[in-house]
């Protein structure tokens, strides 16, 4: 089976039709930035928000190459809250 390569920059476009499940107040990080970080982290073997955050910290320079990250990397709690707010039916 041939491997399919996906450009990391395009991951956000796969989730473009999803509505942001977070409350509108206190949104510090872009929805697409959290999506890309979470998806990449899980693909790399992360098993939760703490592991995703650690993965992102190690790869912060690489992530900044294609994500805006206007307020830096999202915290573990931000990633956790985002994951908990996701609606499975949206997928």
Residues 6+ apart with CB under 8 A from 44: 55
DSSP string, 72-90: -SPPHHHHHHHHHH--GGG
Stated pTM of the model: 0.85
Q: How much is the mean pLDDT over the chain?
A: 87
For residue 81, give the nearest of 34, 47, 36 by alpha carbon: 34
| Mean pLDDT in residue range 63-91 | 88
Provide the pLDDT confidence category of residue 87 given band limits of 50, 70 and 90: confident
Confidence of residue 40 (pLDDT cuts 50, 70, 90): very high
pLDDT one-digit tens code per residue, 24-36: 887 899 989 999 9
């Amino acid at each position: 089976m041939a491997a399919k390569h996906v450009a990391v920059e395009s991951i956000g476009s796969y989730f473009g039709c999803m509505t942001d499940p977070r409350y509108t107040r206190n949104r510090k990080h872009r929805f697409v930035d959290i999506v890309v970080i979470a998806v990449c982290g899980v693909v790399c073997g992360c098993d939760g928000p703490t592991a995703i955050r650690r993965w992102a910290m190690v790869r912060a320079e690489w992530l900044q190459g294609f994500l805006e990250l206007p307020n830096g990397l999202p915290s573990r709690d931000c990633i956790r809250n985002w994951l908990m707010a996701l609606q499975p039916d949206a997928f």
